[in-house]
Structure formats: structure tokens, C-alpha cells
A and B are shown apart, each in its own frame.
Chain A
Amino acid sequence: MSGNSKHHISYGTYILVWLALLAFTTITVTIAGVNLGRYTLFIALTIAAIKSALVINIFMHIKFDEPIFKVFLGISGATLLVIFFLTFIDFLYR
């Protein structure tokens, strides 16, 4: 609790993460050119989720910050899921 438990991450780690992000971007653009039918959206969103996990964990330091932040993030994420799910109960069964 005493102030910042500063986790100094090396420049190297950041650059590695950045390279990974670029790699995933390349992959998702390449895959988009291939016709995968209904899996296209699923794959695109999975890659986007992986990319955002990298950004949130490393760039935004949530991995090294107070654990309560993760709980908070979980709450807002879960709320968003609930909202999507319940709204689609209407539109899926129209």
C-alpha cells in the first residue's frame, strides 16, 4: 500500500510487445483477405482481444498494479457482456 510499488519494465519488453502487436495486425489483415465464412468475424475479434490484452496488461500496467484494478476491469467488462447478451435475446428471437 505504501505509494507506488514501481515495476520498472525494460524498454526491451515494451518493444517486444509492440512488435507482437504489429505482428497480430499483419495476421488479422492477411486473414481478412481469405474467405473463412462465418469464422471471419470470430477470428478478427479474437485477435483484437489478444491485442487489447497485451495493451492492457503491459502498456497499461494492470498486470503489475493493485489487484483491485483487475477486479474493477472485470466488473465493467462483465457489465458490457451482460448488456450485449440481454439485448441480443431480443434481436436473436425476433
Chain B
Amino acid sequence: MGHRFSYSLGVLAAVMACAPLVFGQSTPQAAKKKTSAAQSSPSKSVSHDLSGVWMQYDDGTAPGFARMNGVDDRTRPPLTPWGQEKFDAAKPLMGPRAKGGQEDSAALHCDPSGPPQLLILPNPWEIVQMKGRTFMFFEEYHIWRTIWTDGRPLPKDTDPSWLGYSVGHWEGDTFVVDTVGFNDKVWADLSGNPRSEQAHLIERYRRINHDTLEQQITIDDPKSYTKPWVSPPKLHKLEPKWEIAEWFCAASELSTYDKDVRKPSGGEPVK
């Protein structure tokens, strides 16, 4: 357990804190293409079973990101004026706009995270399916979300929330999750791209084979973006022996956390 936890923190440190230093290690384009078309067709038995602990592949294609390309900056449509204003005001945690010592993000204050940001962070997560509901558990902040699969429609007018309100349905072998009702307090990613109260998030999940889950994220947020933001599919690997560790963001532990894990984008990498 302790070992797994350390690993997870290490991954966070490497990916979040030392982003500018990993330019040379990312493999542009190469990993992206092996996604949907050429895969073996799933056997009947796994097609609607997405359960298990998943971990994204380390195949980041965005400059400065070893992973976290589930929401891919390079396919982002033009921002609206409102979106641009939000984006300009953001002090991103990583990427080319990050400034050493000035990074900011709701997550650094231990504010809750939420989708899609939560989906793209390189930490283990688990899917549990049951009748009428699919659960997702994230090691990041120990967050869980419910996706209702009992046929209910999306609510017409729901209170803005960190996680939004999610319903899911199957289209063939693909589990489609629709989420609305977000607040605007967390970015769509760690680069400062906004998530507004009008955001409609669409996640598509398909089990390509026993060990591989394909995840494709679309953000339809007319307040922030001039067109739907369609990111390329991202692959996740089944980790049958892993269990989600306890990882809370606790304000009283933040200074230790900052010192041990997070570094300003211009600072020294952790060893």
C-alpha cells in the first residue's frame, strides 16, 4: 500500500511539477495513432464490462505534458471573448504559460477537483458498475462520482456543482457519459482553459481489449469555446492488482506537500 502511494506521488511530481523538463521525453504523435481503428474487436463478455482499476498510458503528446492529454490543448477550438478573458486571467500550473512561483489552480488550495480535469490527471482510477449506476473512484483527492444509467434524463436545471450531474448510456460497445450542471470554479485542465456553468461534457469509453480502455473527451461549452472541443482518444491500462490508495488534499499538509511534491514550474525537479 505504501509503495503504491509513493509511486503515485512520484508520478504526480514528475508530471505536474517538472512539466517543462520532460519536453525531450514525450513521443509526439506516435502514441496517438494506435487508438481506435486498428484494434481487435472486443469479445462479447468484456464489451459492457468496464470495471477495474485503470491507469493512463504515459504517451503524452502535448508539449510539456508527459501525459494528461485526455483533454488535448492542440485540438482546442478558438475561445470566445469570455473564454479568452478567463484564460488570460488564469495562472496555469504547467505548460508554456506557467511562471515559476506564480502557478495557481483551484486544486492547489485543496478545492475539489472535477471532470474533465479529474479525468486527465495521471493517477489511478476505478470503475465499478452496478444496476442503474456506474461509479468512478479517483485516487486524486479520493473523489467519487456517480453516473446514473437507469434511463433518467439529464436534469433541466440543476445546482452548479464541482462534479456536475452525470447520466450514461450504451451505444454499441461504447459507454457514453453526459454531464452538465458544473460550476465554473475548476478549469477543464491545468493550463487554465475554462469550464463554465454551460459546459456539457461528453465522455466515451470503450474496452478495446481486456487490458485496454479507450477514453474520448468532448467539451461542449459555448460560453467558453466557439466550437465543441473534441480531444483524440486516450488509452488506459487495466491494473488488476492495484487498489485505490487514500490520498486527500489536506490544507494542513499543504506546505509539506508543496515542498515535497510540487515545485514552481521554474524550480528544481524532484529527484
Is the A/B pair a real complex?
A: no
